[in-house]
Structure 1
Amino acid sequence: MTSSPTPENAGLLIISEEVCAQVVSRSDSFDAVEAVFGAMARGDAYNFPVIREAIGYADALYGFKSGFDRAGKALGVKSGGFWPGNMEKGLTNHQSTIFLFNPDTGQLQALVGGNYLTAVRTAASSSVSIAHLARKDARVLGMVGAGHQSTFQLRAAAEQRAFKKVVAWNPHPDMLPKLGAVAEELGLEFEAVSQEALGAQADVIITITSAFEPLMMADWIKPGTHIACMGTDTKGKMEVDKALFARATVFADEIAQSITIGEAQHAIADGLITEGDITPIGDVINGTHAGRSSDDEITLFDGTGVGLQDLAVASVAARVAEEKGLATRVAL
């Protein structure tokens, strides 16, 4: 939604979770996220500082991510967080709402359900990294984590390379069959394996957990692997061995977040890499960085999740929902 409201369409749009799932496809999300990463690298879009705090109740993390995309005219904020007890209540652990504002007037334009969009934009982020950094002949996809987000990740990744097999590990093995069912639906062989075996087989690895310790060690990763670390978005979280950063060529959605709350925070703190060793994925998208330089190179994408991703997909949801008459409009 990039145009200012006119008198005949003034008011507030409300786009429900159900409508978001109807109007934003994986392809839409990929295109929106890829475009905003490119805009960030050009300096046409920027994120504001993230607020993310433990609220001291229900073990919840709550915060705000916001920013402005001058190219896409998207201004807004996502408010929400992580409630680890929600699965027991039949709810997703991540809960959020996206607020879009008119960049010309500051008026609130839309309230957009953020749960589905968070899932598809996170999957789109790793998918964009696979599209631009994974070897063309990658055939085995490794999944570390089998929670709610993992099925979105698997579906999105499967569209970027001609994978034949999925190998997966989860700290709770009873959750793996759901991921296996999606793999089967996609026509892919599925095998539950140990973490070390996963590293030995996978050409592409996606980590999507809420871990605070390394789940994949550097020595387990074979040459030529592309790794998308998607679960670390808070100080202290950790999914892979920090020594891996010294072996890999490192990319990120946003460097500032990567070194403070992303997977790179630990390697930075220990001096294994410097901020200058991390390249924005947008530079590869824009053609100012070559990306992968050889078939033996290990590439690592640190996907911390930025507010501009949420605004990009929410803008698509608001625009398409309004065009199709699926949005609810209320007077301000």
Structure 2
Amino acid sequence: MTSVINLEKIKEITENLDLVQAMEEGFIAYSNEQTVVPPVGELLFDEPKGDAHIKYGYIKNDDYYVVKIASGFYDNPSLGLASSQGLMLLFDQKTGVPKAVLLDEGYLTDLRTAAAGALAAKYFAPEQVQAIGIVGTGIQAKWQLEMLKSVSSCRNVYLWGRNQEKTAAFAASLGTEWTPIIAKSPDELARKSNLIVTCTPAEVPLIPAAAIQPGTHITAVGSDTPHKQELEAGVFIKASLVIADSLNQSKSRGEIFKATQAGTLEASRVVELGTAIQSGITRKESDITVVDLTGVAVQDIMIAKAVYHHYKTSTKC
């Protein structure tokens, strides 16, 4: 029998999961070639502006395979809808029998992306974070901060968004747990923060290379298609360590793709995230580091499995 797990139940379950640890295990398996992850399927829309991604794959000798469809339609909030939508399908790897339909409306994609951001900060952010900089004001900006709480004690956060009203509303929504400061520009945010997370659908770079200070870590989240770019390509000239969630995907999308196209980064300098974690790479406090997250199907596999296992356990009680 195929389980259908709705969003309300998924939210309840994910409160009890260690998603950062799940992402770490998944990325290590991916870099160790223990997964089968085909190229991303993609649909791009102009009217209205949006994109849909089909990601799928499996971990070798595991119980399941997963197919995920996730979309982002950026006019949705004006219609009273979340920008992110989608679902995940989990199948028995040995028989192809559908085991679960996860009607998450894009929620699990948001969570697994934010958990990957926290994982990047866990290993590659400076030991002393003076301020976190968040570029963007959408749901991913919120979740990146939420997940960062598990790996950083810093609560000073600079915020920047294109829309001043949305940025002010985002700052107000953080409550007393954070000390938010609205930056006048991405330049100011970069000069004041040494842990920066970019999570916008920008197609023109926002973060100037000249503003990045020594000792800064950047997690780039928004550039998940060939056309998007949040960082000036010159950032990679200054970076001591450049990490891709997927070396293969960085050949066709993401900040690393844009930088190699621009000639500011040699592909041979890039290390894959799972490999970097296992190798125990250390950074000097003055190093500039960049982790480029384009989103890999192994993340969807790990989070779908975790939700399904917890659901099966709880429904047996």
Aligning the two structures, in what range does the TM-score lie when normalised by the shorter sequence?
over 0.9
1:302 corresponds to 2:270 = no
Aligned runs of 1:266-281 on 2, under 5 Å? 266-281=258-273
1:135 corresponds to 2:126 = yes
Report deviation, 1:313: 0.6
Looking at structure 1, the residues matched to 16 and 124 of structure 2 have their Cα atoms a distance apart, in angstroms, of 19
Q: Identify the residue that residue 59 of structure 1 maps to in structure 2.
A: 49
Deviations 1:270-312 (A, max 9, x none): 22222221111111322x241x421010000001011111121
Q: Identify the residue that residue 200 of structure 2 maps to in structure 1.
A: 209
User: 5+ unaligned residues in a row in structure 1: which ranges?
Assistant: 1-10, 327-332
Q: Identify the residue that residue 317 of structure 1 maps to in structure 2.
A: 307
Q: Identify the residue that residue 81 of structure 1 maps to in structure 2.
A: 71
Q: Identify the residue that residue 232 of structure 2 maps to in structure 1.
A: 241
Q: Identify the residue that residue 32 of structure 1 maps to in structure 2.
A: 22
Q: Could you tell me the TM-score, scaled by structure 2's length?
A: 0.93
Q: Name the CA shift for 1:270/1:88 in 2 (closer, same or farther; >3 Å).
A: same
Q: Identify the residue that residue 118 of structure 1 maps to in structure 2.
A: 109
Q: Identify the residue that residue 284 of structure 1 maps to in structure 2.
A: 276
1:146 corresponds to 2:142 = no
Confirm or deny: 8 A CA contact 1:165 1:190 kept in the other structure.
yes
Report deviation, 1:71: 6.1
Confirm or deny: 8 A CA contact 1:45 1:71 kept in the other structure.
no
Looking at structure 2, the residues matched to 222 and 91 of structure 1 have their Cα atoms a distance apart, in angstroms, of 38
Q: Which has the higher contact order (CA 8 A, sep 6+)?
A: 1
Q: Identify the residue that residue 2 of structure 2 maps to in structure 1.
A: 12
Task: Indicate the SS of the match to 2:294.
Answer: coil
Q: Identify the residue that residue 90 of structure 1 maps to in structure 2.
A: 80
CA RMSD of aligned residues (A): 1.7
1:21 corresponds to 2:15 = no
Task: Indicate the SS of the match to 2:86.
Answer: strand
Residue 245 of structure 2, aligned match among 227, 232, 253: 253
* Stretch moving more, 27-36 or 92-101: 27-36
Looking at structure 2, the residues matched to 207 and 56 of structure 1 have their Cα atoms a distance apart, in angstroms, of 23
Amino acid at match of 2:107: Y
Report deviation, 1:13: 1.0
Confirm or deny: 8 A CA contact 1:101 1:110 kept in the other structure.
yes
* Stretch moving more, 70-79 or 113-122: 70-79
Report deviation, 1:27: 5.0
What count of residue pairs does the alignment treat as equivalent? 313
Looking at structure 2, the residues matched to 84 and 231 of structure 1 have their Cα atoms a distance apart, in angstroms, of 13
Report deviation, 1:267: 0.8
Report deviation, 1:72: 4.9
Q: Could you tell me the TM-score, scaled by structure 1's length?
A: 0.89
Amino acid at match of 2:115: A
Q: Identify the residue that residue 3 of structure 1 maps to in structure 2.
A: none
Amino acid at match of 1:78: K
Looking at structure 1, the residues matched to 27 and 70 of structure 2 have their Cα atoms a distance apart, in angstroms, of 22
Deviations 1:31-51 (A, max 9, x none): 211110111111112321111
Looking at structure 2, the residues matched to 266 and 324 of structure 1 have their Cα atoms a distance apart, in angstroms, of 45
**4+ residue runs over 4 A deviation:** none
Amino acid at match of 1:99: L
Confirm or deny: 8 A CA contact 2:244 2:256 kept in the other structure.
no
Deviations 1:222-260 (A, max 9, x none): 001000000010111000101111211110111111231
Confirm or deny: 8 A CA contact 1:166 1:183 kept in the other structure.
no
